[in-house]
Chain A
C-alpha cells in the first residue's frame, strides 16, 4: 500500500518500475548509448625518481555512456580526484588504457571542461571575462563566444552579473560562473571535482538541483566527483563507488530514479537503499568517514 502510494506520487507506473528492475540486472553496460569514456585496467603510482611508490589507483575498469551523468563517490584519499585528473589529461598514468571519444588520452584535450573544487575565477577579470577565458586560450571566435557566454550566464542564472568582479559574488554564484566557464568551448565532457564541497548544506542542495537542470539542458556527459553519498545518488544515472588504499572501483550502481529529481526523493526507500548499499561498501572496506 505505502509502496504503491510512493510510486504513484513519484509518477511511476508499475510497468515503468518493472522495466527499471530489468535494467538493474544488466549492470555491466551502463545506459544504452555508446561508450564515450573507456577505462581499462588503469593503475597509477605516485613515486619519486621513477620508482613506484604509493599506489593511488589499482586496476580500474569502467565505461561511461555519452550524455550520461556519472557520480564517483568515495571517502577522502580513495583516488577519485586522481581519476578525474587522469581523464582530464592533467596527470599521466602508470598502466592501462584511458580513451575519450575513441582517442587515447595523452595530455589535455580541447573537448573537456573542468570544474574544480574552488571556482578559481581570476580576480582581475569580470565574470564575463572569466567565462570567456576558454575562448581566449583556445583562439575561438570572440564575437560568437561572447554571445555564448551570455547565454551560459543565463543558464546558470547569473545574467546581470557579467560586469561584476568575482569577489562581489557569493561562493555559490562563483561556482556557477565557473560551471558556465567550463561549458563555454562546448566540451563534450564536463568533469567536476567536488565542485560544491566548499558550500554550505543549503546552497549545496540548491546547486544540486541547478546542476541537474544545467545537465539536462546542455546534454553533456558529466562526471561528478563527490564524497557525499546523497549528492552522488541524487544526481547520477550511475554511481561509481570507490574504496581507498589503493583506490579501486568497488561497485557500479545504476540509479533508476525518474528525472527531474526533486529533493523529496531523498526520503524514498529507493534512495535509502542505494545510500545504504554504498555505506555498506565503505564499512566493509573499513572506511566510513
Chain B
C-alpha cells in the first residue's frame, strides 16, 4: 500500500528534476563525443598551422601556411576540366587508374583465389611462387612495367593491379579454406551439387575474408597509381606533385595531398557501404574477430 502510494510521487519528482539534468548530460555527451573532439583538434591544428608558421617564420617553400593550400585548391579546381594545369584533369586520370586497377586486380585475385583454394593440386604447386611473389615489394617492379607498357595509363593500371591482386588472392584462399565443414556437410546431406555447395555455403562464408582483402587492396591502389606516375607518366596527380615540387609550389603539393587522401577515404567509404549491404548479417566487429582468430 505504502509502496503504491510512494511510486507516483517518486516518478513525478524524477520527471521534474530530470529535465535540467538531462540537458546538461546531453551537452556533456556532445562535448565528449569523439566526432566533436576530432573536429576541435582539426580546427586547432589548422589555426596552429596558419599562425604558428607565420610566427616561427618558417619559409613558405618548406611549409606553406594553410591559406596557401586553400588558395592552391581553389585555383586548381577553378581551372577548366581538361586544362593540363588544373586539378580536375590529373585527378580524373589518377582516379581512372586507381579504379581500373582495383577492379581488375582484385577481380582476378578473387577468381584465382577461388580456383586455387578449390583445386588442391593447384595450391600445392603454386604455393611457393605465391609466397615468393608476396614477399617481393611490388613497387620495385614499377620501373620495369613502365618500360614495358609505356608512359600511358596502362602501365599505371598494371602496377595498381599488381598491388591489389595479392591481398585479395591471399585473403580469398584463407577465406575459402576457413569455411565451416558443418555447413558443407549440411548441404552434402541434402545431395547438393558442388556448385550448390559453393554458391550456398562456401562463397557467403568466405565473403568477410574477401572484404578484408578488398579493404587492404583499396589502400594499396592509390599508392600504386602514385608510384607509377612518379616513375614515368605524362599526367596524373603523381606527375603534378613532381611538377609542383620542382616549381617549389609547396602549397600546391599540399593541395594534391588533400585530394589524394580524400580519394582514399572515398574509396574505402564506398567499399564499406557495399560491405554493409552484402554482409548485413554479420556485425562489423564480429567479422573482424572471425578473421583475426
Residues of chain A having any CB pair with chain B under 8 Å: 88-90, 107-110, 112, 114, 116, 118, 120, 122-125, 133-134, 136-138, 165, 185
State the majority secondary structure of interface residues on B. Answer: helix
**Would you call B190 an interface residue if the criterion is a C-beta within 8 Å of the partner chain's C-beta atoms?**
yes
Known: A88-B189, A90-B188, A114-B189. A120 touches B183 (CB 8 A): yes
Chain B nearest CB, measured from A62 CB (Å): 21
Contacts of B183 in A (CB 8 A): 120, 122
B182 interface residue (CB < 8 Å to A): yes
Q: Is B130 an interface residue (CB 8 A)?
A: no
Docked pose: A107 CA to B193 CA in angstroms: 12
CB proximity of A260 to chain B, nearest CB, Å = 29
> How distant is the Cα of A108 from the Cα of B186 in the complex, in angstroms?
11
Write the nearest CB–CB distance from B290 to chain A, whole angstroms: 11
Q: Say whether A185 contacts B190, CB under 8 Å.
A: yes
Q: In whole Å, how far is A266's beta carbon from the nearest beta carbon of chain B?
A: 31
A122: chain B residues at CB < 8 Å are 183, 200-201, 204
* A90-B188, A114-B186, A118-B182 known, 16 other contacts, Cβ within 8 Å: A88-B189, A90-B189, A107-B191, A108-B188, A120-B182, A120-B183, A120-B186, A122-B204, A123-B281, A123-B282, A124-B281, A124-B282, A133-B186, A136-B200, A137-B187, A137-B191
How many whole Å from A160's CB to the nearest CB in chain B? 20
A67: min CB distance to chain B, Å: 21
Asked whether B281 lies within 8 Å of A137 as measured between CB atoms, the reply is no
Bound Cα distance A109, B188 (Å): 10
User: With the chains together, A227 CA to B221 CA distance in Å?
Assistant: 55
A134 contact set on B, CB distance < 8 A:
190
B185 x A137 contact (CB < 8 A): no
CA distance A253 to B190 in the complex (A): 31
Q: How far does the Cβ of A138 sit from chain B's closest Cβ, in whole Å?
A: 6
A108 touches B190 (CB 8 A): yes
Instruction: State the CA gap A88–B191 with chains docked (Å).
Output: 10
CB distance from B192 to the nearest CB of A (A): 5
Q: Is the CB of A124 within 8 A of B204?
A: yes
